[in-house]
Amino acid sequence: MSTKIAAEEFYDKFAATYDEVLKDPSCNAQHVNEAAKIFNRHNHQKGSVLDIACGTGFLSELLEGEFDYTGIDISSKMLDYAAQRGYKTIHKPIETALAEIDSQSYDFVFCLSSLLCVEDAATAIKHINRIARKTSIFSLDETTEEYIKNFVVPVYDHSKMAIENAMEDYFIVGWTSPTLGITIRTRMIYIEQKSSE
Ligand SMILES: C[S@@+](CC[C@H](N)C(=O)[O-])C[C@H]1O[C@@H](n2cnc3c(N)ncnc32)[C@H](O)[C@@H]1O
């Protein structure tokens, strides 16, 4: 097993090259494109977006419409890039940030390729659905044993978790790890909140 380091340290170092890696064909990152595709085909055109573990805020390049973005991330360096894209930023871990946010306080809540870093994903998902006024979109990465063992940040496989009331729920080939070369399948989930018109 590799010696593990904290997510904050790893992603602070990764921030400057993150967008390049995301666009690199060898990484074949599909999860953000797929989330944007789902979102755009449901024809949402404006509102507030909470992008949980937003990284550099790349998602905002892909959504078609007028949206106000707020991003949460554990990495201040990632948030610096998101801020350059117009994000309001919250520098906190998911594990403490979500409980502090009011119910139904953002129209659209995203959480992409980051619940793998959170041990208690079920609690995070409850908060995501509580905070979303209209829709939630999140991804669950099917991390392999080899990836869990060798990736330098502690990660988990939450991809088999039961998710209720999903309008869309399917696997794609999500991404290939730039550090380990391991390809990960990703479960994409789209939920419309009952209270939304
Ligand atoms: C693989 S990147 C995904 C970034 C973006 N959501 C995307 O899909 O391109 C994972 C992000 O999660 C953040 N992260 C990891 N663990 C976190 C935690 N416990 N709380 C908040 N952010 C976290 C990292 O700093 C990083 O920006």
Instruction: List the Cα angle 142/131/112 in 5-degree steps.
Output: 25
Predicted pLDDT of residue 194 = 81
Residue 15 has what pLDDT?
98
**Ligand 1 nearest-atom number relative to CA 58:** 9
Query: Mind listing the pLDDT tens digit for each residue in 29-74?
Result: 999 999 999 999 999 999 999 999 999 999 999 999 999 999 999 9
The better pLDDT of the pair 129, 2 is held by 129
Torsion angle of the four alpha carbons 127, 133, 135, 140, in this order, in degrees rounded to the nearest 10: -10
Place of tokens 């730039």: 178
Domain ranges of the chain: 7-192
- pLDDT, residue 156, reads 98
d(CA 46, CA 104): 16
Q: What is the pLDDT of residue 103?
A: 98
Query: pLDDT at position 1, please?
Result: 57
What does the block give as tokens for 103? 């119910």
Tell which wins on pLDDT, 194 or 125: 125
CA 61 to chain centre: 15
Give 114 Cα–ligand 1 centroid separation in angstroms: 5
How sure is the predictor about 2, in pLDDT bands with cuts at 50, 70 and 90? low
Residue 195 predicted with pLDDT over 60: yes
Of 93, 174, 103, residue with least CA distance to 138: 174
CA distance 141 to 112: 9
Joined together, the tokens standing for residue 134 give 């209209």
**pLDDT > 80? residue 140:** yes
Which fold does the domain 7-192 belong to in CATH?
Answer: Rossmann fold (3.40.50)
Closest CA to 42 of 135, 164, 178: 135
**Which one of 23, 24, 74 would you pick to mutate in the ligand 1 pocket, going by the greatest count of ligand atoms within 8 A of its CB?**
74
Q: Report residue 150 as tokens.
A: 């060798």
Residue 190 has pLDDT above 90, yes or no: yes
Q: Please say if the pLDDT value at position 108 is more than 90.
A: yes
List all residues whose CB is within 6 A of at least one atom of ligand 1.
7, 11, 22, 31-32, 53-55, 58, 73-75, 78, 93-95, 112-114, 117-118
What is the 56 CA–ligand 1 centroid distance (Å)?
9
Query: Is the predicted pLDDT of residue 158 greater than 80, yes or no?
Result: yes
Task: Give pLDDT, residue 76.
Answer: 98
